[in-house]
Structure 1
C-alpha cells in the first residue's frame, strides 16, 4: 500500500480538489491512504479567529468569510444543493464556533489545537465527499482516533506503540477495499483532548501512517517539481534533486528547508520506506526520491530561515565558560521547548541563534539575566549552505552584515541582518 499527502495549496479551490481526486483515482488500483491538509491559508485564518476571541473582539465577520470560502469550493464541486456535504460543512463550523466561544476560559495552547484542527477536518471531509461522488470506494476517518499523543499542545509527541497498534488493527482491513481519507497535523492526548504535531505537521502524519502500515512509499504532492536546492521564491536559478539520501534530507529539514516537515524522515528511514516529493501540477513527472543511498547532491543546498534571534550570554567575572554554565542554559532551553539553530562559544561567552518567539525568548533572557550579561538581536536571518563551495559562500554572503559565522566540513552558516 501507499500513502499520499496533499498540502493546502493543492486543495485551495474547487479545481484543485478535482485535480487531487484525479491523481488519487489514477492510483486506485492499489491500497491507498490519503492525508489532507487544511485548504489554502485556512490555518492562518483560524489563528486570526482564535486571537480575536482571546482578545474579546468580534470574529463574526472573519468566520463568515472562512465559511463562504469553503462554501464556494463546495458549490464548485457539487451541483446538488442538498448534498450531505453542506450539512457536514455547517456542522463543522458550528463546532468551530463552540470552540471559539470557550477559548477565553481554556489554556491557550489547548484551545489553539482544538480550533486549528477544524481546517484539516473540513478539508478532508470535502475531498472524501467529492471522491465518493466520482465513484471511488472511500472512507473518511478521524486521525485523532488513531494518532495517540502526550498532552504537549502544539508540539505533541507520539505514543508510537498505541498509535501503530490502532492503525494496524482498524485501518489495514479498511484499506483492502476502500481508499482512506484522513487528516494531517492532528492527534489526541490520553485525556481526550485534540493535539497538533507542530505547524506544517501533515507530512509527519503521513510518515506515521506509513510506518505503522509498513507502506511501500510515501508521496508528498507539492506545488514545486520536487526538492530544490533553494527556495525558488528567493533565488531565480534553482536545481532539482532527482534523489537524496535520508541523511541529506534530514539535515536540510533541520536547517529549515520548508519542503518537508523535519520530523518526517526518521520513521521512514527507520523502516526504509522511500519518500517521494512530486508536483501536483505535473503529476506525471518523477520529482525527487528520498531513500537509503550514497548519492552526492548535484548542487549545494541554500536554506534561508527568517525571524531569528541571536542571544549572547557573557560571563560577568571573566572566568571561563564551563560545562556547568552550558548545563544551566541548556536546562532552560529544554524546559521552555526552545530549539537552537546555531550555537557558538568563546572563552567567556555563549551565543545561540533561535527562532523569534518573543514570549519564550523574553522568558529565557529574564531567567538568566542574574547570571550573565546578555545581548540580543532580533529580526535576523539564518543562511545555511550545505555541501558548500567557496564560490557559493562568496556569492551568498556578499554585501551582508554578518553577526555570526560558522563552518564545518560540509556546512556553512551565517546569521545576518535581514
Structure 2
C-alpha cells in the first residue's frame, strides 16, 4: 500500500481539489491512505481567530470570511446546494465557534491545538465528499482516533506502540475496501485532548501512518517539481535533485529546508520506506526519490532560515566557559523546548542561533541573566550551505553583515543581518 500527502497549496480552491482527486483516481489500483492539510492559509486564519478571541476582540467578521472561503470551495465542487457536505461544513464551524468561546478558560497551548485542528478536519471532509461524488470508494477517518500522543501541546510526541497497534488493527481491513482520507498535523493525548505535532507537521503524519502500515512508499505532493538545491523564490537557476539518501535529506530538513518536515525522515528510514517528493501541477514527472541508496549530490544545497535570534552568553567574572556553564544553558533550553540551529563558543562566551520565538527567548534570557551577561540580536537570517564551495560561499556572504560564521567539512553556516 502507499501513502499520499497533499499540502494546503494543493487544495486551496475547488480546482485544486479537483486536481488532487484526479491524482488519487489514477492510483487506486492498490491500497491508498491520503493525508491532507488545511486549505490554503487556513491555519494562519485560525491562529488569528484565536488571537482575537483571547484579546477580547470580536472575531465574527473573520470567522465569517473563513466560512465563506470554504463555502466557495464547496460550491465549486457540488452543484446540489442540499448536499450533505454543506451540513458537514456548518457543523465544523459550529465546533470551531465553541472552541473559540471557551478559549480564555483553557491553557493557551491546549486551546491552540483544538482551534487549529479544525482546518485539517474541514479540508479532509470536503475532499472525501468530492471523491465519493466521483464514485471513488473512500472512507474519512479522524486521525486523532489513531495517532496517540503525550500531552505536550503544539509539539506532541507520538506514542508509537499504541499508535501502531490501533492503526494495524483497524485500518488495514478498511484499506482493503476503500481509499482512506485523513488529516495531517493532529493527534490525541491519553487524556482525550486534541494535540498537534508541530507547525507544518502533516508530512510527519504521513510518515507515521506509513511506518505503522509498512507502506511501500510515501509521496508528498508539492507545488515544486521535487527537492531543489535552494528556494526558487530566493535563488535563480535552482537544481532538482533526482534522488537523495536519507542522511542528506535529514540534514537538509534539520537546517531548515521547508520542502519536508524535519521529523518525516526518521520513521521512514528506520523501515526503509522510500519518500517521493513530486509536483501536483506536473503529476507525470518523477520528482525526487529519497531512499537508502540515494546517490551523493555534489551540487551545493543552500538553505535560508529567516526570523532568527542570535543570543550570546558571556561569563561575568572573566573565567573560562566550562562544561558546567554549557550544562546550565542546555538545561534551560531543554526546559523551554528551544532548538539550537547553530552554536559557537569562545573562551569566555557561548553564542546560539535560535528561531525568533519572542516569548520563549525572553524567558530564556530572564532565567539566565543573573548568571551571564547576555546580548542578543533579532530579525536575522541563518544561511546554510551543504557541500559548499568557494564560489557559493562568496555569493551568499557578499554585501551582508556577518554576525556569526562557522565551517565544518561539508557545511558552511553564517548568521547575517
Q: How far apart are 1:293 and its partner, in Å?
A: 1.7
Q: For 1:82, what is the secondary structure of its paired residue? A: coil
Between the aligned partners of 1:137 and 1:182, the Cα distance in structure 2 is 14
CA distance in 1, matches of 2:74, 2:297: 43
Determine if contact 1:313/1:349 at 8 Å carries over to the other structure.
yes
Secondary structure of residue in 1 paired with 2:224: coil
Task: Give the equivalent residue in structure 2 for 1:216.
Answer: 216
- Is 1:244 aligned to 2:263, yes or no? no
Q: Note if contact 2:138-2:179 (Cα within 8 Å) is conserved in structure 1.
A: yes
Change (3 A) 1:213 1:19: same
Partner of residue 296, structure 2? 296
Q: Secondary structure at the match of 1:93?
A: helix
1:136 matched to 2:136? The reply is: yes
Q: Which residue of 2 aligns with 1:52?
A: 52
Aligned partners of 1:293 and 1:107: how far apart in 2?
Answer: 46
Cα shift at 1:295? 1.2
1:34 match:
34
Separation (CA, whole Å) in 2 of partners of 1:76 and 1:206: 28
Q: Give the aligned partner of residue 404 of structure 1.
A: 404
Structure 2 residue aligned with 1:107: 107
Question: Residues 146-181 of structure 1, C-alpha deviation per residue, up to 9 Å, x if partnerless?
Answer: 000000000000000000000000000000010000
Aligned to 2:231: 231
Contact 1:241 1:298 in 2 (8 A): no
Q: Which residue of 2 aligns with 1:67?
A: 67
- Structure 2 length as normaliser, TM-score? 1.00
**C-alpha displacement at 1:299, in angstroms?**
1.0
| 1:333 pairs with 2:336 | no
Distance 2:92 2:52 in 1: 19
Q: Which blocks of at least 5 consecutive residues in structure 1 are unaligned?
A: none
Q: Secondary structure at the match of 2:285?
A: coil
Please state whether the residue corresponding to 1:209 is helix, strand or coil.
Answer: helix
* Distance (whole Å) between structure 1 residues aligned to residue 120 and residue 358 of structure 2: 28
Is the Cα–Cα contact under 8 Å of residues 203 and 261 in structure 1 kept in the other structure? Answer: yes
**CA–CA separation in structure 2 for the residues paired with 1:351 and 1:293:** 37
Secondary structure of 1:73's match? helix
**Offset from partner CA, 1:5-28 (integer Å, 9 cap, x none):** 000000000000000000000000
Does residue 149 in structure 1 map to residue 157 in structure 2?
no
Distance in 1 between residues matched to 2:408 and 2:294, nearest whole Å: 20
Aligned ranges 1:252-401 → 2 under 5 Å: 252-293=252-293, 295-401=295-401
Q: Work out the CA distance in 2 between the residues paired with 1:168 and 1:82.
A: 36
Residue 34 of structure 2 aligns to a residue in which SS? Answer: strand
Structure 1 CA distance for aligned equivalents of residues 399 and 70 of structure 2? 45
Residue in structure 2 matched with residue 415 of structure 1 by the alignment: 415
1:101-154, CA deviations, whole angstroms, 9 ceiling, x for partnerless residues?
A: 000111000000000000000000000000010010000000000000000000
SS of 2:3's equivalent in the other structure is: strand
Q: Secondary structure at the match of 1:307?
A: strand
Instruction: Give distance in 2, aligned partners of 1:173 and 1:386.
Output: 44
1:118 aligns with 2:118: yes
2:405, 2:293 → 1: CA distance?
31
| Alpha-carbon shift at residue 294 of structure 1 (Å) | 5.2
**d(CA) in 1 for partners of 2:298 and 2:222?**
21
Give the secondary-structure state (helix, strand or coil) at the position aligned to 1:200. Answer: coil
Query: How far apart, CA to CA, are the structure 2 residues paired with 1:327 and 1:378?
Result: 24
Question: In structure 2, how many angstroms separate the alpha carbons of the residues matched to 1:104 and 1:374?
Answer: 34
Equivalenced residue count is: 417
SS in 1 for 2:169: helix
Q: Which residue of 2 aligns with 1:171?
A: 171
Q: What TM-score, normalized by structure 1, do the two folds share?
A: 0.99
Whole-Å Cα distance in 1 between the matches of residues 127 and 155 of structure 2?
A: 26
Output the aligned Cα RMSD.
Answer: 0.5
Cα displacement string for residues 43-68 of structure 1 (whole angstroms, at most 9, x for unaligned residues): 00000000000000000000000000
- Mapped pair 1:207 → 2:194: no
